[in-house]
């Protein structure tokens, strides 16, 4: 079966086609835009809405801006009893050069290492908030529980975490920028419930000290799995790492043991697919995240699962109701894509360009889905931009006038993705220099422990 469509998806798309045929994109002035979430994406949207003179409010659940870049010592729920959205841990350094992560026109101070710490990136976000004076339009402690189509507008309902009161506000335009790395994926293995040790997800991992002289199993070798292997290998008495990534494995400590995927748990340890066994005290599932958009009412006209949202024009605009935009749903991208999507969204809200007719947006989307199929991908990959990233930047610029991100950023992204797996222990010890629009250079310059040049409270 090579068809990428599940019958449910097909049904949804057909219904949509039938519904939109005689609806026109009516561009009327936006009286008010509402943005959900004040992480990197929401802050970028706010900056551009402000620049284009759109009246807006950002609703942020927590007491803070910065999203996942803010370290929070709470586990599971935050100080207000809300689910903790940040997945940050201590000692994190970015796994991508900062040049690919900077907001357009807002570089880090020049002496910042190319791979700053998580703390430094958080300071950068706070500096951005201050520089563009965004805080007065950000309503903190406002946890959005529902977004619903009502009278040709959007009803956004949120709970204030101080009073626990619920409020509904009407918005002409709504931007969903609630992040995609907050909701952990938990695998289930045979015997797991009988295991007597501790099991957590990397979402809840905070610092290495808790694992001193313990026998620890890490599951997965995505960015978190590889990072935690580095952070924990010299601290644990034994570090078992179960994964199936092919890469240039560095010399971790002598107590590091590579294993294949898990077969089952026993009360005191784990049996692997090769039938070997290891005793362990603690397990950390570094098994990634799923989308969670529980607040989207069914009448918003998008189909969502933990893996995708569809159909979105340019991976941003809700085709059914083009006054709803998503920033940060895309996969396999650099942060600069979030900035470009934010600018596109704000230009749209400000009426600075016009979308194609809905049928044409849908056709574009369908041809993208077919191209995906032709490349042997499946519908779950519909939000992955990946290798088409530079073309995507070009398209947003051509259609809406978004500031063109230079092709060199894609070059850096591609180089870093390979280099990281070839030289895991040292790849962050280089500094990058952009030499022109297409080229970069790098030089070895270990700066572990160099203080963040951004000084902000």
Ligand X SMILES: Cc1cc2nc3c(=O)[nH]c(=O)nc-3n(C[C@H](O)[C@H](O)[C@H](O)COP(=O)(O)OP(=O)(O)OC[C@H]3O[C@@H](n4cnc5c(N)ncnc54)[C@H](O)[C@@H]3O)c2cc1C
User: 336 in helix, strand or coil?
Assistant: helix
Task: Choose from ligand X, ligand NAG, none: what does 370 bind? Cβ within 5-8 Å by kind.
Answer: none
Residue 30 interacting entry, from ligand NAG, ligand X, none, C-beta within 5 to 8 Å by type: none
Residue 60 binding result from ligand X, ligand NAG, none, given CB thresholds of 5 to 8 Å by partner type: ligand X
Binds 39: which of ligand NAG, ligand X, none (CB < 5-8 Å by kind): ligand X
DSSP assignment of 325-394, as one string? EESS--BS--HHHHHHHHHHHHHHHTTSS-PPPHHHHHHHHHHHHHHHHHTT--GGGTTB-GGGHHHHHH
Nearer to ligand NAG, 124 or 313 (CB): 313
Q: Between residues 97 and 269, which has the closer beta carbon with respect to ligand X? A: 97
Q: Is the CB of 197 or the CB of 220 nearer to ligand X?
A: 220
Report in angstroms how near the CB of residue 21 gets to ligand NAG at its nearest: 22
* Cis peptide leading into residue 311 (ω within 30°): yes
CB of 37 to ligand X, least distance (A): 3
Toward ligand NAG, which CB reaches closer, 222 or 394? 394
Residue placing its CB nearer to ligand X in the complex, 356 or 386: 386
Chain residues in the site for ligand NAG (CB under 6 A) = 32, 55, 145, 148, 150, 155, 159, 164-166, 168, 170, 230, 233-234, 253, 388, 391-392, 395
Residue 410: closest CA among 313, 342, 340: 340
Closer to ligand X by Cβ: residue 225 or 322: 225
Q: How many CB atoms lie within 10 A of CB 3?
A: 10
* Closest distance to ligand X from the beta carbon of 62 (Å): 4
Closest CB 245 distance from ligand X, rounded Å: 18
Give, in order, the Cα–Cα distances in Å from 283 to each of 189, 216, 220, 236. Answer: 12, 6, 11, 12
User: Closer to ligand X at the Cβ: 278 or 423?
Assistant: 423
> Which residues, 6 or more positions from 431, have their beta carbon under 8 angstroms from its beta carbon?
113, 114, 442, 443, 445, 447
Largest Cα span, the chain: 67
How near is the Cβ of 331 to ligand NAG at its closest, in Å?
Answer: 13
Q: Which residues pair with 325 in a beta bridge?
A: 175, 317
Question: Residue 327 CB, nearest distance to ligand X (Å)?
Answer: 7
Sign for the pseudo-dihedral over CA of 295, 299, 303, 305: positive
Nearer Cβ to ligand X (101/302)? 101
d(CA 359, CA 51): 31
Q: Is the dihedral of CA 65, 67, 69, 73 positive or negative?
A: positive
Report the chain's C-alpha Rg in angstroms. 23
- As measured in angstroms, the least distance from the Cβ of 70 to ligand X is 8
Partner that binds at residue 165, options ligand NAG, ligand X, none, CB closer than 5 to 8 Å by kind: ligand NAG
d(CA 68, CA 71): 8
Percent of the chain that is helix, strand, coil (3-state, to 5): 30, 25, 45
* Beta carbon nearer to ligand X, 95 or 249: 95
36 binding partner (options ligand X, ligand NAG, none; Cβ < 5 to 8 Å by kind): ligand X
For 145-208, give the DSSP string: EEEEEETTEEEEEEEETTT--EEEEEESEEEE---SSSEE-----BTGGG--SEEEEGGG---G
Contact at 8 Å (CB) between 195 and 265? yes
Q: How many helices (H) and strands (E) does the chain have?
A: 8, 24
341 binds, among ligand NAG, ligand X, none (CB under 5 to 8 A by kind): none
Residue 211 interacting partner from ligand X, ligand NAG, none (CB closer than 5 to 8 Å by kind) = none
Q: Which is nearer to ligand X, 144 or 412 (CB)?
A: 144
Q: How far is the CB of 334 from ligand NAG (least distance, A)?
A: 14
State the nearest-atom distance from the C-beta of 165 to ligand X, in Å.
Answer: 15
Residue 295 binds which of ligand X, ligand NAG, none (CB < 5-8 A, kind-dependent) = ligand X
CB atoms under 10 Å from CB of 156, counted, come to 24
H-only helix segments in 21-117: 40-51
Residues that bind ligand X (CB under 6 A): 36-42, 59-62, 67-69, 85, 87-88, 94-96, 101, 143-144, 177-179, 181-182, 295, 328, 334-335, 338
Residue 230 binds: one of ligand X, ligand NAG, none (C-beta under 5 to 8 A by kind)? ligand NAG
Least separation in angstroms between residue 1's CB and ligand X is 34
Beta partners for residue 200, in sequence order: 284
Q: What distance in Å separates the CA atoms of residue 359 and residue 363, rounded to the nearest whole number?
A: 6
CB of 234 to ligand NAG, least distance (A): 4
Binder of residue 430, out of ligand X, ligand NAG, none (CB less than 5 to 8 A by kind): none
Shorter beta-carbon distance to ligand NAG: residue 265 or 392: 392
């Amino acid at each position: 079966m090579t068809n990428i469509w599940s019958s449910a998806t097909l049904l949804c798309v057909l219904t949509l086609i039938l519904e939109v045929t005689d609806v026109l994109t009516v561009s009327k002035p936006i009286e008010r835009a509402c943005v959900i979430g004040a992480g990197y994406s929401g802050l970028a949207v706010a900056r551009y809405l402000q620049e284009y003179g759109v009246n807006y409010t950002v609703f942020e659940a927590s007491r803070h801006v910065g999203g996942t870049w803010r370290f929070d010592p709470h586990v599971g729920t935050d100080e207000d009893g809300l689910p903790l959205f940040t997945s940050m841990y201590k000692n994190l350094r970015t796994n991508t050069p900062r040049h690919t992560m900077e907001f357009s026109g807002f570089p880090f101070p020049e002496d910042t290492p190319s791979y700053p710490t998580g703390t430094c990136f958080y300071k950068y976000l706070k500096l951005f908030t201050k520089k563009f004076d965004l805080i007065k339009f950000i309503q903190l402690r406002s946890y959005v529980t529902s977004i619903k189509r009502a009278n040709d507008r959007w009803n956004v309902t949120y709970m204030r975490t101080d009073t626990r009161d619920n409020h509904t506000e009407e918005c002409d335009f709504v931007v969903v920028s609630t992040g995609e790395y907050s909701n952990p994926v938990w695998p289930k293995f045979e015997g797991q419930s009988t295991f007597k040790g501790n099991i957590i997800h990397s979402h809840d991992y905070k610092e290495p000290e808790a694992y001193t002289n313990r026998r620890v199993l890490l599951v997965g070798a995505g960015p978190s799995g590889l990072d935690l292997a580095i952070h924990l290998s010299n601290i644990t008495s034994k570090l078992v790492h179960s994964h199936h990534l092919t890469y240039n494995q560095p010399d971790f400590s002598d107590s590091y043991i590579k294993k294949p995927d898990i077969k089952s748990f026993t009360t005191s340890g784990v049996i692997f697919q090769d039938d070997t066994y290891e005793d362990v005290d603690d397990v950390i599932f570094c098994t990634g995240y799923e989308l969670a958009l529980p607040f989207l009412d069914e009448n918003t006209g998008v189909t969502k699962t933990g893996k995708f949202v569809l159909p979105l024009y340019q991976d941003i605009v809700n085709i059914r109701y083009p006054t709803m935009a998503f920033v940060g749903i895309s996969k396999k991208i650099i942060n600069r894509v979030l900035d470009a999507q934010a600018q596109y969204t704000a230009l749209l809200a400000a009426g600075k360009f016009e979308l194609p007719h809905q049928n044409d947006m849908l056709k574009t989307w369908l041809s993208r889905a077919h191209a995906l199929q032709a490349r042997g991908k499946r519908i779950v990959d519909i939000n992955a931009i990946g290798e088409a990233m530079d073309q995507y930047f070009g398209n947003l610029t051509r259609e809406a006038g978004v500031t063109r991100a230079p092709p060199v950023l894609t070059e850096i992204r591609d180089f870093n993705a390979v280099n990281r797996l070839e030289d895991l222990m040292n790849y962050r010890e280089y500094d990058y220099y952009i030499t022109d629009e297409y080229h970069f250079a790098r030089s070895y310059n270990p700066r572990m422990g160099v203080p963040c040049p951004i000084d902000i409270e």
